Amino acid sequence: MGAGLSLNLGFGFALANQLPLRDKDRPNVVFVLTDDQDLHLDSLQYMPFVRKHLIEKGTSFNKHYCTTALCCPSRVTLWTGKVPHNTNVTDVNPPYGGYPKFVNQSLNDNYFPVWLQQAGYNTYYTGKLFNAHTVLNYNDPYPRGYTGSDFLLDPFTYEYLNSTFQRNQEAPRSHEGEYSTDVMAEKAYGFLNDAVRDLENRPFFLTVAPISPHANVHITAYSETNQMSVFTEPIPAKRHEHLFKDVKVPRTKNFNPDQVTIWGKLVARPAAAEPVNVDYNDHFYRQRLRSLQAVDELVDGLITRLEGYGILENTYFVYSSDNGYHIGQHRLQPGKTCGYEEDINVPLIIRGPGIAENQEADIVTSHTDLAPTFLELLGIPLQGDFDGSPIPLMAEELRSAENARREHVNVEFWGRAIGEGIYEPKPEYSLYYSVWCNNEHELYDMTVDPGQLHNLLAADGHPLESEALIAGRSISDVVSRLDALLFVLKSCKGRTCREPWKQLHPAGNVETLADALRSRYDEFYAEQASVSFEYCAAGYIVNAEGPMWETDSLMIRDGAPWYEWV
Ligand SMILES: *[C@@H]1O[C@H](CO)[C@@H](O)[C@H](O)[C@H]1NC(C)=O
Ligand SMILES: *[C@@H]1O[C@H](CO)[C@@H](O)[C@H](O)[C@H]1NC(C)=O
Ligand SMILES: *[C@@H]1O[C@H](CO)[C@@H](O)[C@H](O)[C@H]1NC(C)=O
């Protein structure tokens, strides 16, 4: 596993003091959730309707992160408000993940749409819900919590031209030859119509989850235990095939660089790409942009209809993606699952009543925050122990949160690749720190090395340059704090995830890395156990995870907190 942290400043959020509204006055939500859409490769620049209707009419959260860069675990986090190590849905397929694991973890009875229905909302969903939600298990049991649903099913979820959808309690239906996103758009418009007809009684929450710009996955063999598939670039709708002929992957410094410093023995460390490989990657990139055009039209179609129904002003429109994507950065072939910025920093745009237009927000937010954010936005009491907290959305709340909100994001991954990091945009530090399951370490100073090209640590975690300073402290002093923070985060739960420094400093006098870097804590941090793993496991296996933080083992001695292994 791995974890990444993003640092801004402090903690605190304002609870909107909402009075109970009559049902017909409660706001509606339309949520468009794309699949593998980047923030860093400029895809939003090529979506004119998203720009016009959402970016220019709403607030863009530039520091929004997924908590794991893989579809199914990320979606489970998004719909439960819990980090993957608390859902234990860590993969796309059983035994560690997928829809069957979601059901086995009792999450189907206790997740966002269920809470929303209980609070009097009509809930509609079309598109991809989770992976391993299939033509064989779709009714065993049905996903709970939906007034109306029309799900894409595996193994045909990622076939752009041969999708299978399954509506309410009906049998699955193939749409061979039709374009997946266009089929979904019609379904979404139908649900919107249903929702509007019942608006006198109930407000609605409609989610539309198209597969674009995910790779196309063509299935060559399928049974309950076996799936053979071929991944290729995404397929656009016919009408968009001709677009963007000259567009290429942005040539950032970390695109196909001369050197890579990533340690990952678990990530294939590729050679500098040959021209033919670069050409393919550029083609792959263009196919992503082309496939997103149907999503762009879908956004326009939804907005136009909301306007036509006269409810646009009372509807929040939210746009995000389950995780990000890299193509050629760090010499990596197209893909995700890593902890690097391209994979984890994703779009989040919100427009609606009270939300500032054409604004950018730089507070640190993550997918764990979305379920509590939606609940609070809709005036529904927060239930359960969330690992995230409501995102301040209104301009005034945002301003006061800028210096007060938590500064970290904890990013995890199990399986073939691992990432753990610490970011921090302003003012003095911006860091990425990770410990791989083979106990190799990486640290990047993102203020001077945003492309993550110069790892400051040897594999064993010792600084490569003893003289270098970060935030005025030696690298080993900084690492001792980051490692302790990570140690708490990697097994945190609820409040511990939200306020990790408080675990280390129960008196509450340390709330940021800058606080923790005070020299009076040097001795304390020198004594802490380090993050280390016993072995690389394909899932969240406690024995593989190495020493775990235990709140009970924290003790206060001589005014300084410390803990010991019990
Ligand atoms: C997570 O699920 C896997 C697969 O079922 C299981 O082996 C493992 O023990 C679980 N981990 C925890 C911490 O419960
Ligand atoms: C879910 O639980 C059932 C019964 O305990 C078990 O047979 C099945 O293998 C489990 N599936 C997963 C994905 O863990
Ligand atoms: C499309 O999907 C159906 C199953 O829904 C399958 O029978 C058919 O062979 C697929 N067509 C192609 C061209 O793959």
Residue 203 and residue 23 in contact, taking contact as beta carbons nearer than 8 Å: yes
Residue nearest to atom 4 of ligand 1 (CA): 96
pLDDT higher than 80, residue 550? no
For the chain, where do the domains classified as CATH 3.40.720.10 start and end?
Answer: 30-400
Q: What is the mean pLDDT of residues 162-177?
A: 98
Ligand 1 pocket mutation pick from 83, 85, 88, 543 by most atoms within 8 angstroms of CB: 88
Q: Which is the closest atom of ligand 2 to the Cα of 94?
A: 13
Token code pair at residue 421:
């990091």
pLDDT at 19: 44
Ligand 1 site, residue 21, Cβ cutoff 6 A: no
Select from 154, 152, 157 the least CA-distant residue to 127. 152
pLDDT higher than 60, residue 562? no
Distance (Å, rounded) from C-alpha 106 to C-alpha 413? 22
pLDDT at 551: 54
Q: Which is the closest atom of ligand 2 to the Cα of 103?
A: 1
Give pTM, 2 decimals: 0.81
DSSP state of 520: G
Maximum Cα–Cα distance for the chain, whole Å? 72
pLDDT at 515: 87
* Distant-in-sequence, close-in-space partners of 427: CB < 8 Å, separation ≥ 6: none
- Ligand 2: distance of its center to the CA of 133 in Å? 14
Q: Within 10 A of 251 (CB to CB), how many other CB atoms are there?
A: 10
Q: Please give the mean pLDDT across all residues of the chain.
A: 87
Clarify whether 497 is annotated catalytic.
no
Residues with CB under 6 A from ligand 3: 156, 162, 164, 174, 176
Residue nearest to atom 9 of ligand 2 (CA): 95
Residues with CB under 6 A from ligand 2: 94-95, 100-101, 104
Ligand 3 pocket mutation pick from 138, 161, 176 by most atoms within 8 angstroms of CB: 176
CATH superfamily of 30-400: Alkaline Phosphatase, subunit A (3.40.720.10)
pLDDT higher than 60, residue 561? no
Token code pair at residue 197:
């007809």
DSSP string, 272-317: PPPHHHHHHHHHHHHHHHHHHHHHHHHHHHHHHHHHHTT-GGGEEE
Rg (CA), the chain: 23
Select from 370, 391, 490, 361 the least CA-distant residue to 115. 370
Pairing assessment for the beta strands 59-61 and 359-361 based on DSSP bridges? parallel
Q: What is the mean pLDDT of residues 292-296?
A: 98
Residue nearest to atom 7 of ligand 1 (CA): 541
Q: What is the mean pLDDT of residues 219-228?
A: 69
Distance (Å, rounded) from C-alpha 196 to C-alpha 187? 14
pLDDT at 553: 43
pLDDT higher than 50, residue 332? yes
Q: Which is the closest atom of ligand 3 to the Cα of 164?
A: 5
Of the ranges 122-131, 140-149, 224-233, 338-347, which one carries the lowest mean pLDDT score? 224-233
Distance (Å, rounded) from C-alpha 182 to C-alpha 159? 13
Q: Which is the closest atom of ligand 3 to the Cα of 135?
A: 5
How many residues are given for the chain?
566
Q: Which is the closest atom of ligand 2 to the Cα of 101?
A: 13
pLDDT at 262: 65
Scored b (16 or more CB within 10 A) or e, 546-562 reads: beebeeeebeeeeeebe
The sign of the torsion formed by the CA atoms of 98, 205, 181, 141 equals: positive
| 68 to 75, 106, 410, 486, 491: CA distances (angstroms) | 9, 21, 9, 15, 15
pLDDT in tens, 182-203: 999 999 999 999 999 999 999 9
Distance (Å, rounded) from C-alpha 238 to C-alpha 16? 46
Token code pair at residue 492:
């945190």
Q: Which ligand is nearest to the CA of 101?
A: 2
* Distant-in-sequence, close-in-space partners of 372: CB < 8 Å, separation ≥ 6: 81, 382, 386, 388, 389, 390
- Banded pLDDT at 135 (limits 50, 70, 90): very high
Ligand 1 site, residue 94, Cβ cutoff 6 A: no
- Ligand 1: distance of its center to the CA of 88 in Å? 6
Q: What is the mean pLDDT of residues 260-274?
A: 53
- Banded pLDDT at 511 (limits 50, 70, 90): confident
Q: Which ligand is nearest to the CA of 152?
A: 3
**Bridge partners, residue 359, by sequence:** 59
Q: What is the mean pLDDT of residues 505-509?
A: 80
- Ligand 2: distance of its center to the CA of 104 in Å? 6
